[in-house]
């Protein structure tokens, strides 16, 4: 299942039932798990670690060195989990000394032209739209949906179950369970449709909605809003996630 027109470095480790098309380049210091399909002209470079059951489309490049001037050739990795779909022209750079690795989790869809920069961490079950560009050390939590042509500033974090409008510029953190849109990017309500599709109960959705009413419509500063949420809303895992995310935010959350 490996085309004779592909180049596989003799030190690369290839699992079982892996399909590798013509003109694929697989470098040294690469590990590819089982049941992967790598289509023609894909490039898998030094430091790539690819799990099981992934589909990598033509002209994707995984493991290229970071586009970061502080990179000095240190040994780092680009780690891809299981069952991801990585479409045409996606680029996933490996890490720098900052974190040592770039990570894409499991069951993600990265559409055409997505860029994942050095030391970024993408969770599980995310959908990243065409031509979205993510700068270094961003974090995207599980089940986020980021539409096409979104530009993400370095160090930004996106919470789980978020929906971000296409064409947005993200320069602050986006807390979980919400939709974000307009220009400049602002809170646009909670992601009700996404939460229902993921099986959240009406009661849980209402609690999330009440928390964000306090944060965005209560006329309080963030510190007082979080305190009020703790006093008035039951501490479910979802509410604790919101509180913890906002308290950990270094760039501040969108308005």
Catalytic residue from among 21, 33, 136, 160: 136
- The CA R_g of the chain, rounded to the nearest whole Å, is 20
Catalytic residue from among 118, 125, 129, 141: 118
Closest Cα to residue 144, out of 177, 172, 173? 177
Q: Which residues of 113-145 are buried (b: 16+ CB within 10 A; e: fewer)?
A: bbbbbbbbbbbbbbebbbbbebbbbbbbbbbbb
118 is annotated as an active-site residue = yes
Closest Cα to residue 171, out of 232, 75, 251, 58? 251
What ranges in the chain are assigned the alpha helix state H?
192-197, 202-217, 222-232, 237-248
Helix and strand numbers (H, E) in the chain are: 4, 27
* Whole-number Å distance between alpha carbons of 104 and 58: 18
Catalytic residue from among 119, 123, 125, 160: 119
> How many residues are recorded in the chain?
255
Q: Are 206 and 190 in contact (CB under 8 A)?
A: no
* Whole-number Å distance between alpha carbons of 44 and 8: 10
173 is annotated as an active-site residue = no
82 is annotated as an active-site residue = no
- 174 secondary structure, DSSP code: B
* Whole-number Å distance between alpha carbons of 40 and 169: 33
* Whole-number Å distance between alpha carbons of 27 and 32: 11
Active site residues: 118-119, 136
């Amino acid at each position: 299942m490996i085309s004779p027109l592909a180049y596989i470095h003799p030190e690369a480790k290839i699992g079982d039932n892996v399909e590798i098309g013509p003109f694929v380049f697989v470098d040294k210091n690469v590990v590819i798990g089982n049941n992967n399909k790598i289509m023609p002209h894909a490039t898998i470079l030094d430091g790539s670690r690819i799990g099981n059951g992934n589909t990598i489309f033509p002209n994707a490049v995984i493991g290229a060195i970071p586009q970061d001037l502080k990179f000095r050739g240190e040994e780092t990795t680009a780690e891809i989990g299981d069952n991801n779909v990585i479409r045409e022209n996606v680029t996933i750079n490996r890490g720098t000394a900052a974190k040592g690795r770039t990570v894409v989790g499991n069951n993600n869809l990265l559409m055409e032209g997505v860029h994942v920069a050095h030391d970024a961490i993408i969770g599980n079950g995310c959908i990243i739209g065409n031509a979205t560009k993510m700068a270094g050390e961003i974090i995207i939590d599980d089940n986020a949906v980021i539409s096409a042509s979104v530009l993400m500033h370095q160090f930004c974090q996106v919470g789980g179950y978020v929906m971000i409008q296409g064409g947005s510029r993200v320069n602050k953190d986006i807390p979980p369970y919400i939709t974000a849109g307009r220009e400049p990017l602002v809170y646009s309500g909670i992601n009700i449709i996404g939460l229902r599709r993921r099986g959240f109960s009406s009661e849980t959705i209402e609690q999330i909605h009440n928390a964000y009413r306090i944060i965005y419509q209560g006329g309080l500063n963030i510190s007082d809003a979080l305190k009020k949420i703790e006093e008035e809303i039951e501490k479910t895992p979802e509410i604790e996630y919101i509180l913890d995310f906002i308290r950990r935010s270094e760039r501040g959350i969108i308005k």
